Structure 1
Amino acid sequence: MFITLFFTIFCLSTGILSSSLPPGFTLPCDISDESCINKFANILLPHLFTGIQDLEIPSVDPLYIDKVIGDISILKYTFYNSTIVGFKKCKVSNLKLDKEFTKLSYDLICPHLIMTGIYDITGRLVLLPVEGNGDFKMTSGKYFIHVESELKTTKGKTDKIHAHIKNFKLKCEPQEPLYFDFKNLFNGQKDLSDTVHKFANENWQEVANQVQDPLFYAIMKRIVTISNKYLKHVPLEDILRM
């Protein structure tokens, strides 16, 4: 089985959508050749972020999420009308797919992500009390994201085989500083706002570990929804060498 099959499933599981491969693009890798797989994944990746207008499937960069809810013991936050940009510059490594095409894992290294939107927050940010609502912007340096997905196949109305992403698990780790800008903390009290921002920007790893999981799971849930919409329309035999 050639790497065309592997790449297609990989791209579908991450929401990197395209109606076809780039013209003349061939993938001479065997599925067991991980070095070759990773090389061609990063060649193919930029071509697969554009979305499919005919199927009303949007691009994943920028990615829009209407609501993210974080309820983390001592901290509660909600992000509204958020936009995330930067996925087009992510690189893939450690791609692995089992021979039954039911389990897929990979790493993404994203050099720069920016998220903007509206926030509402209350509780304690690690050590400090925090509250407020308004516009926000979060900017990251390099981010490591490990993804493990489970896939299943079913027959569609025409008896052709379709794939579906069942679930996923994430492990996220910021590898470079994050910068936080939350307007109107403490109803605009500058001293309190400056204290929280200074703490968050100096202790970005600890802050990220506290707040990142609800956010990244919401992002991946949105990407999986887009991916499964594509998979519902397009049978595997139309896009794979089976």
Structure 2
Amino acid sequence: MKVKLLNIGEAMVLLLTVLSFCSAAKFPPGYNLCKQDDQKCLLEQIGTTFSKHTKGIPEVNLAALDPLKIEKMDIVQGEGPINIELNFRNVDLIGLSESEIKKANGFTANPTKMELSLLVPVASLVGGYKIKGKVLILPIQGDGHSNMTMVNCGIHMKWNGKLVDHANGKKHYQLDKMKATVDTTRFYMHFSNLFNGDKALGDNMNQFLNDNWQDILKELKPAIVKAFAQIFQKVISNVFDKVPYAEFFQ
């Protein structure tokens, strides 16, 4: 049996082909990729990602989505009726698995602007907190466990970006900046261990916060939205950085 020896050029082509195959994104079994112009498929597949891959997809750098673990999140409001510094540490965003995807635009052959809209029936941010400052006319301070819940939480994200050459020789989508809006029909808050554990003061403050949730949310919304935009940008960018753009589609 004769064995044909490859010349240097043929060997390089074969090596690049093998490396390209090995570096291709590996999606889970049953994960259906869409054609770029199939809007219906795209909405369904993004929805499936939220509902069926809650533990994330490590192969493509997608973090666990429900709960979405957030190591650090700060909401600082320094002007107006509310003047607080609210620090969250090791909190979970719960509820994204129930998301209904309302819009997914811009996933074209040469993408620049993209947008994604989803409706979360109940979205809860649960975990450790520390707060100090003033809410409307009342001082507030505490350090403990918190729960901030939004009902019918609509999240709309828009971002700019472009395809760039990657070290692997393929083009990746580079996300530059994200803007977001968040709307809700009801906002609930509960903070444990307010005022160094004074139950009467803590209960009264929690009641006050929930009785005045609309005014409080109006003041805090810009800071909340900014914090969430930074979190979602990191989640999405991690996937785009890992997977060549063309490999998201059939």
Q: TM-score, normalised by structure 1?
A: 0.77
Select the residue among 74, 79, 100 that pairs with 1:69: 74
CA distance in 2, matches of 1:161, 1:130: 50
CA distance in 1, matches of 2:150, 2:74: 20
Q: Is the 8 A contact 1:21 1:47 kept in 2?
A: no
CA distance in 1, matches of 2:113, 2:31: 29
Tell me which residue corresponds to 1:192: 201
Tell me which residue corresponds to 2:90: 81
Tell me which residue corresponds to 2:10: none
Gaps of 5+ in 1: 1-17
Select the residue among 211, 215, 226 that pairs with 1:206: 215
Q: What is the aligned length?
A: 221
Q: Is the 8 A contact 2:189 2:209 kept in 1?
A: yes
Q: 1:160 to 1:47 in 2, by over 3 A?
A: same
The aligned runs of 1:1-242 (5 Å cut-off) are: 19-20=26-27, 23=30, 25=32, 27=34, 30=37, 38=43, 41-42=46-47, 45-54=50-59, 57-73=62-78, 74-97=83-106, 100-175=110-185, 177-241=186-250
CA distance in 1, matches of 2:28, 2:184: 32
Shift of residue 24, structure 1, vs aligned partner: 7.8
1:61 is paired with a residue whose SS is coil
CA distance in 2, matches of 1:146, 1:77: 23
Shift of residue 21, structure 1, vs aligned partner: 7.0
Q: 1:26 to 1:136 in 2, by over 3 A?
A: closer
Q: 1:62 to 1:240 in 2, by over 3 A?
A: same
Q: 1:63 to 1:212 in 2, by over 3 A?
A: farther
Alignment deviations for residues 103-154 of structure 1 (CA, whole Å, 9 cap, x no partner)? 1123211101122222111112233221111121222221111211112211
CA distance in 1, matches of 2:45, 2:105: 14
Q: Is the 8 A contact 2:163 2:174 kept in 1?
A: yes
Identity of matched residues, %: 23
Shift of residue 214, structure 1, vs aligned partner: 3.4
CA distance in 2, matches of 1:95, 1:226: 16
CA distance in 1, matches of 2:175, 2:36: 24
Instruction: Tell me the amino acid that sits aligned with residue 221 of structure 1.
Output: Q
Q: Of the two, which has the highest radius of gyration?
A: 2
CA distance in 2, matches of 1:173, 1:226: 21
CA distance in 1, matches of 2:29, 2:152: 28
Q: TM-score, normalised by structure 2?
A: 0.75
TM-align CA RMSD: 2.9
Shift of residue 196, structure 1, vs aligned partner: 1.6
Alignment deviations for residues 140-192 of structure 1 (CA, whole Å, 9 cap, x no partner)? 221111211112211112321111221111111111x2222211111222332
Gaps of 5+ in 2: 1-24
CA distance in 2, matches of 1:95, 1:236: 16
2:240 is paired with a residue whose SS is helix
